[in-house]
Amino acid sequence: MKQELYDSSLKLEIIIILLVNIFFYFLFAKIDFLEFLYVFSIEHEEYELDEIIPLFMTLALSLLVFSYRRLREIKKFTSNLYFMANHDQMTQIYNRRYMTDVLKVEQDRVNRSGSVFSLILLDIDDFKKVNDNYGHQAGDRVLIEFSRMLKKSIRNVDVLCRWGGEEFLILCRDTDQAGAEAIATKISEMIRLFKWDHVEPVGASMGVVSSKKEQSTDQLFLRVDNALYEAKSNGKNQYIVG
pLDDT in tens, 11-54: 777 788 788 878 877 777 777 666 776 676 676 665 565 566 67
Among this protein's residues, is 166 annotated catalytic? yes
Beta bridge pairs of residue 122: 168, 206
Quote the pLDDT of residue 45.
65
Q: Is the pLDDT of residue 122 over 80?
A: yes
Among 228, 187, 203, which residue's Cα sits nearest to residue 142?
A: 203
Quote the pLDDT of residue 142.
96
Task: Taking each helix axis as running N to C, give the angle between helix 96-113 and helix 52-86, from 0 to 180 degrees, rounded to the nearest 10.
Answer: 80
End residue of a domain, out of 86, 121, 151: 86
End residue of a domain, out of 59, 86, 113: 86
The number of distinct structural domains making up the chain is: 2
Q: What sign for the dihedral angle of Cα 78, 81, 87, 92?
A: positive
Choice among 106, 145, 166, 181 that is catalytic: 166
Q: Which of 70-79, 123-132, 178-187 has the lowest mean pLDDT?
A: 70-79
Torsion angle in degrees (nearest 10) through CA of 99, 101, 102, 103: 80
Report for 50-64, 66-80, 168-182: range of highest mean pLDDT:
168-182
Statement to judge: residues 16 and 70 lie in one domain: yes
Average pLDDT score over the chain: 87
Q: Is the pLDDT of residue 130 over 60?
A: yes
Statement to judge: residues 109 and 216 lie in one domain: yes
Q: What sign for the dihedral angle of Cα 140, 90, 159, 145?
A: negative
Statement to judge: residues 53 and 118 lie in one domain: no
Statement to judge: residues 203 and 101 lie in one domain: yes
Q: Which three-class secondary structure state does DSSP give residue 169?
A: strand
Quote the pLDDT of residue 24.
75
End-to-end CA distance of the chain: 30
Statement to judge: residues 107 and 185 lie in one domain: yes
* CA pair distance 94, 91, nearest whole angstrom: 9
The model carries a pTM of: 0.73
Statement to judge: residues 102 and 218 lie in one domain: yes
101: domain CATH number?
A: 3.30.70.270
Quote the pLDDT of residue 75.
79
* CA pair distance 116, 242, nearest whole angstrom: 15
Quote the pLDDT of residue 121.
98
Percentage of residues in the chain having pLDDT higher than 90: 59
Statement to judge: residues 70 and 137 lie in one domain: no
Quote the pLDDT of residue 10.
67
Statement to judge: residues 104 and 82 lie in one domain: no
Q: What sign for the dihedral angle of Cα 190, 232, 99, 80?
A: negative
CB proximity list for 98: less than 8 A, separation 6 or greater: 86, 87, 161
End residue of a domain, out of 86, 109, 138: 86
Q: Is the pLDDT of residue 3 over 60?
A: no
The more confident residue out of 24 and 193 is: 193
Q: What is the domain extent for residue 106?
A: 94-241
pLDDT in tens, 148-173: 999 999 999 999 999 999 999 999 99
Q: Which of 9-23, 50-64, 206-220 has the lowest mean pLDDT?
A: 50-64
Q: Which three-class secondary structure state does DSSP give residue 123?
A: strand
Among 122, 158, 117, 118, which residue's Cα sits nearest to residue 143?
A: 122
Q: Which three-class secondary structure state does DSSP give residue 160?
A: strand
Quote the pLDDT of residue 53.
64
